[in-house]
Amino acid sequence: MNKTLPFTFFQMHPNMILLEWQQEPSSGLLQELLFLKKNVKEHFNGISQITQGYCSLLIQWKDAITNLSDIKNKLIFLYWSLDFTSIPEKSKHWNLPVCYDKFFAIDLELLSSKIKLSKDAVISIHTQSIYKVYFIGFLPGFLYLEGLNSRLFFPRKESPRMDTPKGAVAIGGKQTGIYPNQSPGGWNIIGNTPIPLFDPNKKNPCFAVPGDTVSFYPITIEEHQLILTNGNPLSYLKEKK
């Protein structure tokens, strides 16, 4: 075989191997990571969990690894045996209601004046894009979303706000995201969604999984209130496909 392996191995703990791809994040790489992760779980025994970043997978075993070279060879063999070109497209699309009213959008005024776009233009650009869920981290249910239109890039705040509210939709640098719970946060708040992103009492606490796509649709403050007080806010989440 003349093909070069696209990832490197790094053992960072007796129980853990880190696989790292030396490339920029892309949706192609994301598909590869998710597909490999699923297959590693199926083909190896004794794995406690696999976590994922933009360009890496961290595989954790329950016990210390005693046969590193065997595991490496098995991983390489598994990788080459997989057909990444025929990954079944099972991802879902979620359309989330967001209220961009100034009551919630406390940083929209500043952001719109600094990037020289009207508030309506910011909302329109923000709601027209499709965002891809790369992984979940930072807080329970915080989706790392890719796909923010470069016209809306805006740096994080110099010092984080101590109490970014639950449901806040925000822009930080080249990213947009939703705060699943009240927390400190340095991103600029441009709206709020009444949809709960994380419910620890549910069997599936988070409706979205990596690989899914997300978009936003604007609602009024009255509609926001209505959804919040409705017994089943998730029914306002429009799932497509």
Partner 1 sequence: MIEVLKTGWHNTIQDLGRFGYQELGVPSSGAMDLNAFTWANKLLNNPSNASCIEMTIKGPTLKFHQPTYITITGATMPAMLNSNTVKMYRPIKIQKGDVLQFSNVTSGCRAYLGILGGFETEIILSSKSQYKGLTLHDQIDKKSLIPIKEVPFIPKGAVLKTPLIDYQSIFLKSYKGPEYKLLNTQSKNRIKTLTFTVSRNNNRMGVHLEEKINQKLPEIWSCPSLPGTVQLTPDGTLILLMRDAQVTGGYPRILQLSDDAINLLAQKTTKDQIKFEIKALH
* Residue 149 vs 184, nearer CB to partner 1: 184
Is 49 near partner 1 (CB under 8 A)?
Answer: yes
Alpha carbons within 13 angstroms on the beta-carbon side of residue 140 total 10
What burial class does residue 237 get, using C-beta atoms within 10 Å of its C-beta: 0-12 exposed, 13-18 middle, 19+ buried? middle
Q: Which residues contact 86 (CB under 8 A, 6 or more apart)?
A: none
Q: Which of 6, 137, 155, 184 binds partner 1 (CB under 8 A)?
A: 137
Question: Is 149 a binder of partner 1 (CB under 8 A)?
Answer: no
Residue 192: its H or E element: strand 188-192
Shortest distance, position 195 Cβ to partner 1, whole Å: 16
**Which residue of 26, 39, 44, 53 would you call a contact of partner 1, by CB under 8 A?**
53
Q: Which amino acid is at 62?
A: K
14 in contact with partner 1 (CB under 8 A): yes
If one asks whether residue 139 binds partner 1 (CB under 8 A), the answer comes out as yes
Nearer to partner 1, 105 or 197 (CB): 197
Select from 81, 159, 201, 232 the one that contacts partner 1 (CB under 8 A). Answer: 201
Rounded to whole angstroms, how far apart are CA atoms 58 and 35?
Answer: 14
* Using rule CB under 8 A, residue 183 touches partner 1: yes
CB of 189 to partner 1, least distance (A): 18
Among 26, 39, 56, 91, binds partner 1 (CB under 8 A): 56
b/e 109-138 (16+ beta carbons within 10 angstroms → b): eebbeeeebebeebbeebbebebbbbbbee
Residues in Cβ contact with 179 at an 8 Å cutoff, skipping those fewer than 6 apart: 139, 142, 164, 165, 166, 167, 168, 170, 185
Q: Which spans of this chain sit near partner 1 (rule: CB under 8 A)? A: 10-14, 16, 18, 20, 25, 48-49, 51-58, 60, 68, 135-142, 144, 180-183, 198, 200-201, 205-206, 210
